[in-house]
Amino acid sequence: MNTQNEQTISAEDMRYLRLLAEKYPAISEVSAEIVNRNAILNLPKGTEHFVSDVHGEFEAFNHVLRNCSGTIREKAIEAFCGEDIEEELRLTEAGLREFCTLIYYPIAMLGRLRGEGRLDADYYRLAITRLIVLCRVVSHKYSHSKIANGLDPTYAYIVQELLFKTDVTGDRLEYYNGIVNTIVETGASDDFIIKLSATIRRFGIDRLHIVGDIYDRGKGPHLVMDQLMQQHSTDIQWGNHDILWIGAASGNLACVANAVRICLRYANTAILVDGYGINLLPLTMFALRTYADDPDLEGFLPKITDEIPDMDERLMARMQKAIAIIQFKLEDAACRRNPILGMENRIILSTYDHEAHTVLVDGTRYKLNTKYLPTLTGDPGTLTPEEEKVILALQASFISSEKLREHTRFLLDRGGMYKIYNNNLLIHAGIPMHEDLTFKTVQFARGAYAGKLLLDRIDAEVRRAYHDATDEGKDMFWYLWCGSESPLFGKDRMATLERYFIREKETHEETAGPFYRNYENVEMADRIFEEFGLDKETAHLICGHIPVRYGRGETAIKAGGKIICIDAGFSKAYQPVSGQAGCTLTFNSHGMNLITHEPFTSLEDAVANGTDIISELRFMAPAKERIFIRDTDTGVQLQEEIKNLEKLLHAYRNGDLKPVSR
């Protein structure tokens, strides 16, 4: 039997060990790293936050990130509101609100306090002391090295000294107090508070999962993207609205038209003009000329909630109708161009009868609710020369937008069709299935795929098609946006044309597929887990896409807790349906919590009055035993790294590699 010293190292392993030796050239360094990584395995897992269907509601989303889904307030209560808390540090309810707001919005809050004349030395000393205490609470489950990496480098040494103090008496206490006093006396208090507050917020979210649909409806998806790009650990599962914007950025004309139309529908042209520099002037001038005398604009007036519209409502209605007609013509062309997609039943505008003012939908002719359709001359499915100029000008703006390209690159780099993380499967919408719960085979990208293979193929094709110059290649983005077998859509049709132009309600119906009709079916959940190689006894499928209607008694918890739908209405347009204003699923070392949120008022209200999103714990799935890093995907990776370090240590000690002393 071979002993360790008699084992041989393969040539491939030796090449890797030589590379590893460049980072750890000494036996002592390898040994220390093995000890360090083994120690990390025994720490509690960090808190994951899952959010879906943000739909451009930047202020609400930003607040949820800043209050860490309500956990900062909980930790502050734990640290400062108990009877055994030191009197000087104890907080009343009013003090708690003010202190939490300082952490959420330190710049604005310091400005308010300065205006009230309250920023004296005593205030600064107490605020800094409380922030250090809270930082210690929220970071207790992390290793010292991870904490050090998470600190702002300006004050990293100072904060570490204050965080890791153990001796709080005598000369050592004077040392700690001296640090705080010096911060105040040198005028660094504001900067220190701002940076330490950011550190606390960072430690409150160990990993952020965005389960799709960042874009559309709300007025700030570009701001959400900017915020996500600043997060230290984020992944994204694409939603159909995200894919729509990736498609528009790639130049797909149908995606461009859809994206512009939705912005006009919700009075959010500032996203296009200010956010991404899209030139709307050609569309504006075309709409003014072509639809100036249109008497039938009521159905195209924007859905304005509480925002001031970016431009005149009737102008937006004309622009929306103009781009909608262009969109429907482009969609007809995409259906004809790609028969493999099976979308022939969505060729509707091309069936327009000029005399009867009807179109054909599923074999039945329906009369349109308007006769004012000036561009449906000749072949109704063909763009007029003016329409073609408009859409090509918009396409050029989308392609040349540097900010949109930057955001799209981030979506491609951090995003995917699904993610498996810590035995949870994250998918924005669903998986094409038959009624008998078998996976449906879908013709896609020169092949036929089902289940996991289908999602893997789509993931690869999205990345390829972004750089594909052909119309047929880029049509995939449009199909994923609204196709009947798209895993990102999951309904038999997107009845946009019918809702605009046909009064008969039966044509407006969008029937959900078998995946959604079997939300409560444990067997379906288990089949999906088996398909993706997960432990069905402990796995969860986390999705969004269809809002949970809490007001009608629905619950986010499906299939006995195996499926969790976390779309709870971040979008203001959905809140009358959902009865909530978004939710966050958290997963920490003790288990899972589903936290629903009340509507966010405004930053101004939060700073002036200490208002917060009221969060309600609706679901808790406690872990049978506390979860440590060794039990997570990170733990698996660390254990693999430890094995490689042990091989390097053996190679040093066995003489296969020569260590270098430093």
pLDDT tens string 260-297: 999 999 999 999 999 999 999 999 999 999 999 999 99
Q: What is the pLDDT of residues 12-23, one digit of tens each?
A: 888 889 999 989
Give the distance between the most distant pair of CA atoms in the chain.
Answer: 95
Structure tokens at 302: 């924007």
**Cα–Cα distances in angstroms (integers) from residue 498 to residues 227, 332, 632, in the given order:** 37, 14, 48
Q: For the chain, give every domain's residue range.
A: 4-42+649-654, 69-204, 239-414+463-495
Choose among 73, 89, 95: nearest CA to 200.
73
How far apart (Å, rounded) are the C-alpha atoms in residues 580 and 599? Answer: 7
pLDDT of 569 > 50? The answer is yes
pLDDT of 612 > 80? The answer is no
Q: Would you call 325 helix, strand, or coil by DSSP?
A: helix
Q: Residues near 132 by Cβ (< 8 Å), separated by ≥ 6?
A: 159, 162, 163, 196
**Which H helix or E strand runs over 365?**
strand 364-367
Mutual orientation of helices 121-138 and 156-163 as an angle, nearest 10°?
Answer: 70
How far apart (Å, rounded) are the C-alpha atoms in residues 156 and 626? Answer: 30
> Looking at residue 3, what is its pLDDT?
42
As a 3-state breakdown, the chain gives helix, strand, coil percent values, each rounded to 5, of 55, 10, 35
> Looking at residue 168, what is its pLDDT?
58
Q: What is the pLDDT of residues 138-169, one digit of tens each?
A: 988 888 888 888 888 888 888 888 887 665 55
* Strands 48-51 vs 207-210: parallel, antiparallel or unpaired: parallel
Statement: the pTM of the whole predicted model exceeds 0.85: yes
**136 compared with 472, residue with greater pLDDT:** 136
Choose among 228, 540, 258, 584: nearest CA to 410.
228
**305 compared with 596, residue with greater pLDDT:** 596
> Looking at residue 580, what is its pLDDT?
67
pLDDT of 188 > 50? The answer is yes
Whether the CB-CB separation of 458 and 470 falls below 8 Å is answered with no
Structure tokens at 538: 């402990």
> Looking at residue 4, what is its pLDDT?
45
How far apart (Å, rounded) are the C-alpha atoms in residues 95 and 660? Answer: 56
How far apart (Å, rounded) are the C-alpha atoms in residues 567 and 579? Answer: 11
Give the mean pLDDT of 549-570: 84
Q: What is the pLDDT of residues 300-352, one digit of tens each?
A: 999 865 555 667 889 999 999 999 999 999 999 999 998 888 899 999 999 99
pLDDT of 605 > 50? The answer is yes
Q: Residues near 182 by Cβ (< 8 Å), separated by ≥ 6?
A: none
Q: Residues near 538 by Cβ (< 8 Å), separated by ≥ 6?
A: 423
How far apart (Å, rounded) are the C-alpha atoms in residues 659 and 323? Answer: 68
How far apart (Å, rounded) are the C-alpha atoms in residues 206 and 140? Answer: 12
> Looking at residue 309, what is its pLDDT?
62
**Which H helix or E strand runs over 588?**
strand 583-588
How far apart (Å, rounded) are the C-alpha atoms in residues 9 and 657? Answer: 11
How crowded is residue 598: how many other Cβ atoms within 10 Å of its Cβ? 15
Which residue type, as a one-letter code, is found at position 192? Answer: F
Phi and psi (nearest 5°) for 566?
A: -110, 20
How far apart (Å, rounded) are the C-alpha atoms in residues 389 and 207? Answer: 45
- Contacts of the segment 595-600: beta carbons below 8 A, 24+ positions apart: 595/69, 595/70, 596/550, 596/568, 597/60, 597/64, 597/69, 597/568, 599/60, 599/572, 599/575, 600/59, 600/60, 600/63
Helices (H), 139-169: 144-150, 156-163
Structure tokens at 205: 């979210």
> Looking at residue 462, what is its pLDDT?
94
Structure tokens at 121: 């030395």
| Mean of per-residue pLDDT scores for the chain | 90
Handedness of CA 332, 335, 337, 339 (dihedral sign): negative
Phi and psi (nearest 5°) for 226?
A: -60, -40
How far apart (Å, rounded) are the C-alpha atoms in residues 22 and 19? Answer: 5
How far apart (Å, rounded) are the C-alpha atoms in residues 283 and 84? Answer: 66
Exposure string of 406-417, with b = 16+ CB inside 10 Å and e = fewer, is ebbebbbebbbb
